[in-house]
Chains A and B, each alone.
Chain A
Amino acid sequence: QVQLAQSGAEVKKPGASVKVSCKASGYTFTTYYMHWVRQAPGQGLEWMGKINPSGDITTYAQKFQDRITMTRDTSTSTVYMELSSLRSEDTAVYFCARKRDGYNLFDYWGQGTLVTVSS
């Protein structure tokens, strides 16, 4: 069965960076796009960006363009999202989500990773 297992919760200071991982299993990793979506406490879903199956093309939301990097390691079937210059407003749960092949929707989600930014 398809599973997306994310790394554990993080606490970071303002100005620092965080790197969240998402390990995929149960399907052919190199076939699917992976996206990242975040959710601030009590707020809605916010799309951050995506990475293509081979890992050489990324598309980021304008809001994060300058401080986000998505990568993927096919040897370990893991996708990474690194966000730099953290501020308190980045406190959120970060989800990885697999794009269904042939559709622009998400059929599987990771469990979420809470990132807390606090001095």
Chain B
Amino acid sequence: SYVLTQPPSVSVAPGQTARITCGGYNIRSKSVHWYQQKPGQAPVLVVYDDSDRPSGIPERFSGSNSGNTATLTISRVEAGDEADYYCQVWDSSSDHVVFGGGTKLTVL
């Protein structure tokens, strides 16, 4: 089965740039989606199809996908961005949805 690997944690100071990676075999061939989840809440889509933003999501959130790694980039990080972030793909070979293990973003 397809596996997505994320770092458990990323820390960044306010105003700096956070980069959260999502590794998977030939992930560039898949559409990668990213969710933000704050404690006690359901996940919220922040980036879809590698680099598109849903309406209402700040331009500070962006994404890229190349080779075996997809990346969620959060520019000018704010305290309110502190949350868990999950990448997600659809594995066409199994028709299953796959989530990465999640990354906890800490704003110092």
Which residues of A come within 8 Å of B, CB atoms?
Answer: 35, 37, 44-47, 50, 59, 61-62, 95, 103-107, 109-112
A-B contacts, 27 of them at CB < 8 A, read: A35-B97, A37-B99, A44-B84, A45-B43, A45-B86, A45-B88, A45-B99, A45-B102, A46-B99, A47-B96, A47-B97, A47-B98, A50-B97, A59-B95, A59-B96, A61-B96, A95-B42, A103-B31, A103-B49, A104-B89, A105-B33, A105-B48, A106-B35, A106-B88, A109-B43, A109-B44, A111-B42
B100: which A residues are within 8 A, CB to CB? Answer: 44
Which residues of B come within 8 Å of A, CB atoms?
Answer: 1, 31, 33, 35, 37, 42-45, 48-49, 54, 84, 86, 88-90, 95-102
When C-beta atoms are compared, the residue in chain A nearest to B97 turns out to be A47
B99 pairs with A104, CB closer than 8 A: no
A53 CB to nearest B CB, Å = 15
A95-B49 Cα distance, complex, nearest whole Å: 22
A62-B96 Cα distance, complex, nearest whole Å: 9
Known pairs A103-B49, A111-B42; list 13 more (Cβ under 8 Å): A35-B97, A44-B86, A45-B102, A47-B96, A62-B1, A95-B42, A103-B31, A104-B90, A105-B33, A106-B43, A106-B45, A107-B54, A109-B44
A105: which B residues are within 8 A, CB to CB? Answer: 31, 33, 45, 48, 88
Q: A35-B97, A104-B97, A105-B33 are in contact. Are A112 and B42 (CB under 8 A)?
A: yes
A84-B4 Cα distance, complex, nearest whole Å: 28
Interface of B is mostly: strand
When C-beta atoms are compared, the residue in chain A nearest to B48 turns out to be A105
A38-B84 Cα distance, complex, nearest whole Å: 15
Closest 4 CB pairs of A and B: A104-B90, A109-B42, A44-B102, A47-B97
B43: which A residues are within 8 A, CB to CB? Answer: 45, 95, 106, 109
A107: which B residues are within 8 A, CB to CB? Answer: 45, 54
A103: which B residues are within 8 A, CB to CB? Answer: 31, 48-49
A60-B33 Cα distance, complex, nearest whole Å: 21
B101 pairs with A44, CB closer than 8 A: yes
